[in-house]
Amino acid sequence: MIHLSRLTFDPRRAETWRDVRHPYEMHRTILKAFGTRAGESGVLFRIENPDENPFVLVQSVARPDWSLAGDHLCAEGPKEVRLALAQGDRFRFRLLARPSKKTADVRNDKGQGKRVDLRDPDEILKWIHEEGEGRRSRTDPERWLKEPQGFRVLDVEPTEVSLVTRSVTGQALGAREKGGSFRAVRYDGVLEVTDAVAFETVVRTGLGPQKAFGFGLLSVGRAK
């Protein structure tokens, strides 16, 4: 079971625009609704209409108490949803993601491959297909480089949206990353479930990196 909520905000309040313009701050606000259970909340969220009449969709494993999150927001929900999935089910979906890859050409301070945004339209489209169907090694077809996550995309329209600003405080990322941004892509389309267990896991836990910045919530509805 998961819990779904829809948050709206008072546009006259400074806290509203702090949260909407800085998704990590929104994440911190949302976690207040779980009190001491914040670490077990399983929160995913997505900011919609960030420039005018913003609202936020929130999914969680734990049940939130929105009275703890601040008086600049108003919540519809939480609504309890029990997932009933089967192989062959088809869903309309929306996902805000950061299509990216780790590359050895660019390394961080620890000498590890750094995550870089994908910019080529074909790579951005390929990313969502591989998230669902996985990717095998070219030299060893029996070895998965990316495990399949239980779905295949039948139709999709990727749209680049406004760059997402990082934490206003920089505390979560380190001072050198303060004020940076991510490339955000919204995927709208239709998918088919190929493995119900794997797909339920990805619906619960999200898809792709940087979930604390509003990426990864896979919203689905039955396709007609």
Residue ranges of the domains in the chain? Answer: 2-81, 90-222
Q: How many CB atoms lie within 10 A of CB 167?
A: 21
Query: Is pLDDT above 50 for 167?
Result: no
Query: Is pLDDT above 70 for 102?
Result: yes
Contact 128, 154 (CB under 8 A): no
pTM of the model: 0.85
The one-character DSSP state at 210 is: -
Average pLDDT over residues 68-83: 94
Given CATH 3.30.70.260, say whether it is the number of domain 2-81: no
**SS3 assignment, position 194:** coil
Structure tokens at 85: 């999935």
Query: Is pLDDT above 90 for 170?
Result: no
Query: Is pLDDT above 60 for 22?
Result: yes
Q: What is the pLDDT of residue 169?
A: 46
Q: Which residues of 61-143 form beta strands (DSSP E)?
A: 73-81, 90-97, 100-107, 113-117, 135-136
Average pLDDT over residues 188-211: 95
CA torsion through residues 12, 14, 15, 17, sign: positive
Q: What is the pLDDT of residue 173?
A: 39
Query: Is pLDDT above 60 for 180?
Result: no
pLDDT interval class at 221 (50, 70, 90): very high
Q: Which residue did the predictor score with more confidence, 136 or 33?
A: 33
Share of the chain above pLDDT 70, in %: 87
Share of the chain above pLDDT 90, in %: 63
Contact 67, 29 (CB under 8 A): no
Q: What is the pLDDT of residue 128?
A: 95
For 119-130, what is each residue's pLDDT tens digit?
899 999 999 999
Kindly report which listed range (44-58, 124-138, 177-191) carries the lowest average pLDDT score. 177-191
In our burial notation (b when 16+ CB lie closer than 10 A, e otherwise), range 141-158 reads eeeeeeebbbbebeeeeb
Q: Which residue did the predictor score with more confidence, 181 or 163?
A: 181
User: Domain 90-222 in CATH: superfamily?
Assistant: Crispr-associated protein; domain 2 (3.30.70.1210)
Please determine whether the domains at 2-81 and 90-222 fall in the same fold group of CATH: yes
pLDDT interval class at 174 (50, 70, 90): very low
* Cα–Cα distance measured from residue 148 to residue 130, given in angstroms and rounded to the nearest whole number: 7
Q: What is the pLDDT of residue 178?
A: 44
Query: Is pLDDT above 90 for 187?
Result: yes
Q: Enumerate residues 6+ apart whose C-beta is below 8 A from 36.
A: none
Average pLDDT over residues 197-203: 96
DSSP string, 6-73: EEEE-TT-HHHHHHHH-HHHHHHHHHGGGGGGGGG---EEEEESTTSS-EEEEEESSPP-GGGS-TTE
* Cα–Cα distance measured from residue 23 to residue 29, given in angstroms and rounded to the nearest whole number: 10
Q: Enumerate residues 6+ apart whose C-beta is below 8 A from 37.
A: 62
